[in-house]
Amino acid sequence: MPRPFSRLMRRAARALPALLCAVSVAGHREGLASDCPGYRVAHFADTPHGFSAALTLAGPPCNVFGTDIGDLLLHATYETSGRLHVHIEDAARAQYQIPDAVLPLDRRCGVEGGSSSGGLRVKLVHSEESGVGFQVLRGSEAIFDTAGWPLVFEDQYIEVTSRLPTDANIYGLGETPDWFRRDPRNTTRTLWNRDAPDPFRENVYGSHAVYMELRGGQFHGAYLHNSHGMDVVLTDGAIQYRVLGGTADFYFFAGPTALDVADQYTALVGRPSQIPYWALGLHNCRWGYRSVGEVDQVIANYSQARIPLEAAWTDIDYMDARRDFTFDSSAFPLAGMQRQLAELHARGQKMILIVDPAIQANGSYAPYARGREMDVFVRRSDGSEYIGQVWPGYTAFPDWFAPNASRWWAGELGRFLDELPVDGLWIDMNEASSFCTGSCGSGRPAGEVPELPWLTDRPHRPVNRSNPLLAPPYAIHNPEAELSDKTIETTALHANGVAEYHVHNLYGLMESRVTRDALVARQPAARPFVLSRSTFAGSGAVASHWTGDNSATWLDLHVSIATVLDFGVFGIPMVGADICGFAGNTTAELCARWIELGAFYPFARVHNNMDAVPQELYRWPTVAEAARRALAVRYALLPYIYTAYQDAVERGWPVARPLVFEFPAVPAVADNDRQLLLGDAILVSPVLAEGARTVAVFFPRGRWYDWYDHSALAGADAAVTLDAPLEHVNVHIRAGRIVPVQHPAMTTAESRCSDYELIVAVAEDNTAAGRLYLDDGATLASPHRWLGFAYRDRTLWIEQQSGSYTVPRPLAKLTLLGVLGVRAVAVNGTAQACTIETAGNSTMVSALHIDINAPARISLL
């Protein structure tokens, strides 16, 4: 476990220039590099949007995990109304930094006068014992405070420590399967992308050095822009970054709401990309389908069971010898795949296939031969081609830094899609994953295919401790024997001369970007769909994500909620876990409960392992019924979910949200990851325990309406135990919200052809509000229409907020929750023929025909 920090007092201080405050600092002193001298200010200057300072080592170098860098530059910049940038870099600028070409950041400096960003201010503080530190202040409170800890800045180790409240509410930092609220007393987040089957509290596929903190009812955020491996440690009232190189490039976000922080963060790293509407349907996959005919049968079985199916996915089974861009001529012949795709399209369904980055190193394999000719593969430190091992055997890895790599990849995808124009691409194994350590295929005969790694005993090589890229002096908490295990070796070289050590965590992001770019270049008008396993900051702008190789366990079911919520913090809202679990045998009960939750993941896909029992949703009667019920709710909510996703596109807001984001003043929801909100109006409360037939549902104060029978429940900031039969998931609508819906159907296209309904969930003050976003759901430059809805005292207004998209279907029904006594309806003062029914405390007005392309005032008389 990480070593705790000890408490020491700071007393001595000295005067420094403006904004460099002489203070007595009380706090922790000891980190891993507790005896390092820190830095002092050698020069200070105001800048148009902040200030800069030259820093010099304040004493003898400690060289604790590398070589101390004597001269640094600190830049503090008030960039936007909600964002502050503090960057500490080596004066020589020799340390590796992420190029804008890899992750283009918003570089605005829009705060005139350089005084604050949304109430955030920064000042330097100094103590004789620990040197200079900085404080980020919101009002009088320091939300990030390094005073009292020495800054350690070495060529292979950076240590920055900030004070936290003892019981801090921290969300983010990963990707690591864990509970949503990070334990502030004992959490180590290791950021090193790794192919691992979702082990609890270990690093897995992505790296995201961003967090939100809830303090005093308000949120703020911080992001470290650095691609190196690192540990981020929460313990003993502090957060400590231990980074294997680069610079200390911090961004701070003022909030004050969680949605504000999401907005501010994604404005920096990239807004989530638009998705095609069909991506919100249910997807099915399995690793282990034996033929195109078996997939045909699966598709037919979903239809026969009356379970919606939007897209049929096929794993590496379709490939010839598991090689990209090929088809197994016996089990998955191209003609059979083309026929299946045409039949899917005729029914309004889609096809998605997997593509891995690893390319079989065989000169007779055309994609490899073309890539080698174009010099697009990663190389060893001696200049020879780096050869690892993945599914097709010994493989080369595309070097996304190589000048020709994007053109080569686009060419290979183009040839593949010319043969089979699938609807989306699933890019896997892109951490990048390799089954051996080092360039194990070097010198092997072309075409040799080794045994799969789990069938042979592969002793680990001795680690070269004298090579600091293979075995850096500080060992982050990556569970493998060395950083290079199961991935490209850290000494491998990219075309820009940079070692893999510095850019390992960027591989998945870069592949996602070139894949999306290739699809857009091929079909400039169409929205591409790319699903990536490995992610980094900014990946939401180019890809969606699933949470990788989970297991069919009740723990994984529960943790999936937290992981989906994590990716809302990370700016990747289109996310979901493999429904019913990937590894291991599910049960009918677990699978039923999982689809009841998974139906409300933003990305909903059933997927499992070839070694497990098949788990398509029609396999068990109880699961099939649970699926029909839960998916009927999802498909009805598609207009609402699509609207929530557009808020992600325009503002970075998560689609799936924890209760704490909407109710930050309620302490009991700070660690609630047993429920989730879709948008701000739909509360989903799944069963997460085997054998349970009830569920404890936490209801924040206010009125909540049951989705199914519309009964009202008065929330009192407390949990209520509700019945939860095996085939039922509790879903509630938040009072004060208006939810647009359509009739659920077997595909999203069919559902979109139905008329609209508004569910008006009236609050205690007889008001409600909502919005609806509409476009063609398919093209990048589609006209759009934003509608606003407002209800007050028996009048409903439809406001045209923006856009010119022509909505083809009318508003045909109003479901008024908490409203009785309606006898007639008038639209813009004219009586409207309709049917009015009451049930319990609610009124249903149907047989309407209201054009929602124009403003409307609907009077309920």
Is it the case that residue 1 has pLDDT exceeding 90?
no
Contacts with 617 (C-beta within 8 Å, 6 or more apart), sequence order: 284, 302, 305, 307, 591, 595, 606, 623, 624, 627
- Side chain identity at residue 657, one-letter code: R
* C-alpha to C-alpha distance for 253 and 85, rounded to whole angstroms: 9
Is it the case that residue 293 has pLDDT exceeding 50?
yes
The full set of domain ranges for the chain reads 7-269, 755-860
Contacts with 611 (C-beta within 8 Å, 6 or more apart), sequence order: 288, 583
Band (110; pLDDT cuts 50, 70, 90): low
pLDDT in tens, 122-132: 999 999 999 99
Measured between alpha carbons, how far is residue 788 from residues 449, 518, 773, 796 in Å?
Answer: 60, 36, 9, 10
Let me know if 90 is a catalytic residue.
no
Measured between alpha carbons, how far is residue 257 from residues 75, 135, 664 in Å?
Answer: 27, 21, 8
DSSP-derived 3-state class of residue 566: helix
DSSP-derived 3-state class of residue 455: helix
Is it the case that residue 201 has pLDDT exceeding 60?
yes
- DSSP tag of 5: P
Among 304, 301, 302, 289, residue whose Cα is nearest residue 336: 289
pLDDT in tens, 751-789: 999 999 999 999 999 999 999 999 999 999 999 999 999
pLDDT in tens, 541-566: 999 999 999 999 999 999 999 999 99
Is it the case that residue 648 has pLDDT exceeding 80?
yes
Band (22; pLDDT cuts 50, 70, 90): very low
Is it the case that residue 16 has pLDDT exceeding 50?
no
Would you state the structure tokens that stand for residue 139, as one six-digit string? 């009002």
Q: What pTM does this model have?
A: 0.96
* C-alpha to C-alpha distance for 413 and 18, rounded to whole angstroms: 57
Let me know if 431 is a catalytic residue.
yes
Is it the case that residue 23 has pLDDT exceeding 70?
no
| Sign of the alpha-carbon dihedral angle for 144, 147, 151, 157 | negative
pLDDT in tens, 406-444: 999 999 999 999 999 999 999 999 999 999 999 999 999
Q: Are strands 656-657 and 676-678 parallel, antiparallel or unpaired?
A: antiparallel
Band (89; pLDDT cuts 50, 70, 90): very high
Among 354, 444, 435, residue whose Cα is nearest residue 397: 435
- 7-269: CATH architecture: Sandwich (2.60)
Least confident of 24-28, 380-384, 620-624: 24-28
Per annotation, catalytic residue among 195, 549, 662, 727: 549
**Residue 26: predicted pLDDT:** 35
**Residue 115: predicted pLDDT:** 64
Give percent above pLDDT 90 in the chain.
92
Find tokens 């960039």 and name the residue: 79
Decide if 201 contacts 178 (C-beta within 8 A).
yes
Least confident of 290-304, 461-475, 678-692: 461-475
DSSP-derived 3-state class of residue 396: strand
Per annotation, catalytic residue among 231, 431, 485, 511: 431
Q: What is the mean pLDDT of residues 738-756?
A: 98
**Residue 546: predicted pLDDT:** 98
For helices 334-346 and 292-304, angle between their N-to-C axes, nearest 10 degrees? 20
pLDDT in tens, 520-535: 999 999 999 999 999 9
| Sign of the alpha-carbon dihedral angle for 675, 679, 683, 685 | negative
Decide if 425 contacts 529 (C-beta within 8 A).
yes
**Residue 5: predicted pLDDT:** 35
Let me know if 428 is a catalytic residue.
yes
Q: Quick check: do 7-269 and 755-860 share a fold?
A: yes
What is the C-alpha radius of gyration for the chain, rounded to an integer number of angstroms? 28
* C-alpha to C-alpha distance for 79 and 87, rounded to whole angstroms: 12
Would you state the structure tokens that stand for residue 70, as one six-digit string? 């004597």
**Residue 31: predicted pLDDT:** 62
Q: What is the mean pLDDT of residues 666-678?
A: 98
Would you state the structure tokens that stand for residue 799, as one six-digit string? 């406001």
Q: Are strands 424-427 and 530-532 parallel, antiparallel or unpaired?
A: parallel
**Residue 614: predicted pLDDT:** 98
pLDDT in tens, 180-197: 999 999 999 999 999 999
- DSSP tag of 423: S
**Residue 114: predicted pLDDT:** 57
* C-alpha to C-alpha distance for 785 and 772, rounded to whole angstroms: 8
Mean pLDDT, rounded, of the chain: 94
Decide if 279 contacts 424 (C-beta within 8 A).
yes
Measured between alpha carbons, how far is residue 472 from residues 65, 88, 396, 459 in Å?
Answer: 8, 22, 25, 22
**Residue 497: predicted pLDDT:** 97
**Residue 462: predicted pLDDT:** 87
Would you state the structure tokens that stand for residue 322, as one six-digit string? 């598991």
* C-alpha to C-alpha distance for 367 and 854, rounded to whole angstroms: 54
**Residue 33: predicted pLDDT:** 74
Per annotation, catalytic residue among 310, 324, 428, 673: 428
Is it the case that residue 369 has pLDDT exceeding 70?
yes
pLDDT in tens, 700-731: 999 999 999 999 999 999 999 999 999 999 99
Query: Cα angle vertex 431, ends 427, 470, to 5°?
Result: 160
Q: Rounded to an integer, what is the distance from CA 139 to the centroid of its chain?
A: 31
Band (12; pLDDT cuts 50, 70, 90): very low
Task: Indicate the burial class of 790 (C-beta count within 10 angstroms; 0-12, 13-18, 19 or more).
Answer: middle
| Sign of the alpha-carbon dihedral angle for 231, 234, 240, 246 | positive
- DSSP tag of 536: B
* C-alpha to C-alpha distance for 314 and 353, rounded to whole angstroms: 5
| Sign of the alpha-carbon dihedral angle for 311, 315, 319, 323 | positive
More confident residue, 114 or 227: 227
Band (632; pLDDT cuts 50, 70, 90): very high
- DSSP tag of 322: T
* C-alpha to C-alpha distance for 661 and 664, rounded to whole angstroms: 6
3-state DSSP helix/strand/coil percent for the chain, to nearest 5? 20, 30, 50
What ranges in 711-756 are assigned the alpha helix state H?
748-752
Question: Omega of the bond prior to 405 within 30 degrees of 0, cis?
Answer: no
Measured between alpha carbons, how far is residue 191 from residues 203, 224, 468, 504, 535 in Å?
Answer: 6, 11, 18, 10, 11
Q: What is the mean pLDDT of residues 299-311?
A: 98
H or E stretch covering 413:
helix 405-419
Is it the case that residue 142 has pLDDT exceeding 80?
yes
pLDDT in tens, 62-84: 999 999 999 999 999 999 999 99
755-860, what's its fold? Immunoglobulin-like (2.60.40)
* C-alpha to C-alpha distance for 180 and 71, rounded to whole angstroms: 39
Q: What is the mean pLDDT of residues 20-31?
A: 42
Q: What is the mean pLDDT of residues 732-738?
A: 98
